[in-house]
Amino acid sequence: MGSGGFSLSIAELCVRFEGLDPDLLESARGRYGPFLCEEQPQHTVTLYPGAAAYLDPAADHFLRVLECPIEGARLYLSTDFAALWADGTETGILRVSSPEDSEATLRAMENYLRWVTAGLALRREAFVLHAAGLVRDGKAYVFFGPSGAGKSTVAALSPGCGLLSDDLVLLLRREDRWMAAATPFKGTLSQSAKKAGTFPLEGLFRLVQAPRHASKILTSARGLATLLASCPFITDPAARHDRLMPLAADCCRQTGVQELQFAKDPGFWESIAGEKRDG
């Protein structure tokens, strides 16, 4: 496709893309500007032209993806891209159906990046959570739940807070303390609103939309179950049980998980502050 490349950093993880033509490279650098780096990558992926299609489109028009093991590698398929990451290697291959379509190729690159970041994170005592992350008074508050739970709404209702992401947040354990880091993954809000860096994790909140603001602490078992349900991309049963589950359990044990019932106004922060005082 081309000879250009760039690297980007997500906390301590560095991924490099190669094989980009000049126009695609310029678009990618503009998209990921706050996360560009010159570090040594832990993983390098090369782009190539691919087949016309890999999976049939979903009937509901949502993005369709499929992951499966294949001869010592992991295969990741969507309608218009296919990726291969061989076990035990630090390289990958990404084939795109329409390399001339820069927007479609950027979407494929971002989906590959989400997939590989989740895998790399587990090697470094970290995991990816489908969540919105906000920084308030130097501490990270992470709000998670399924699509439509209100992650982007919570972020939009917090203009005084720094944004880690309104889609995926990286949680990492460092010196027996859990931290939350900004990620380059595109949600509803702009990349320019993001606050790059890693911050002490102050709270984990499972979102439930409701008429009134309220919060309650979940039991350790329920808290862990809800957290695991919002950890995407790790589909291998052994990886989820042996690597992801102990990390998530330790994060829940140290931080606790609250269920946050919130209406669509900034008053939910008062509910959080009240729970802290009561605790």
Q: Is pLDDT at 41 greater than 70 in this prediction?
A: yes
| Each residue's pLDDT tens digit, 206-263 | 999 899 999 999 999 999 999 999 999 998 899 999 999 999 999 999 999 999 998 8
Query: Please, where are the H alpha helices in 123-194?
Result: 151-156
- Separation of alpha carbons 87 and 138, rounded Å: 38
pLDDT at 277: 46
CA-based radius of gyration for the chain: 19
Burial 216-251 (b: 16+ CB within 10 A, else e): eebeeeebbebbbebbebbeeeeeeeebbbebbbeb
170 Cβ contact list (under 8 Å, min separation 6):
10, 11, 13, 117, 121, 126, 127, 128, 129, 180, 181, 182, 183
Note the pLDDT tens digit of each residue in 169-211. Answer: 999 999 889 999 999 997 887 777 787 889 999 999 999 989 9
Looking at every residue in the chain, the average pLDDT score rounds to: 92
Whose tokens are 């989400």? That residue is 114
Distance CA 128, CA 140 (A): 15
Sign of CA dihedral 74, 54, 129, 253: negative
- Look up residue 35 and give its DSSP letter: G
Residue 50: its pLDDT value, please? 96
Q: What are the residues facing 77 on neighbouring strands?
A: 66, 82
Global confidence as pTM: 0.92
From the list 86, 79, 108, 87, the residue with the least C-alpha distance to 20 is 108
Is 173:125 a contact under the CB 8 Å cutoff?
yes
pLDDT at 196: 81
Q: What is the pLDDT of residues 113-140, one digit of tens each?
A: 999 999 999 999 999 999 999 999 999 9
Whether residue 47 contacts residue 94, with contact meaning beta carbons closer than 8 Å, is answered with: yes
Sequence-ordered strand ranges (E) for the chain: 4-10, 13-20, 36-37, 43-49, 65-69, 73-78, 81-86, 91-96, 126-136, 139-144, 162-165, 168-174, 177-181, 198-209, 214-217, 257-262
Domains of the chain, each with CATH number or no CATH = 4-122 (no CATH), 126-278 (3.90.228.20)
Euclidean distance between CA atoms 244 and 215, whole angstroms: 26
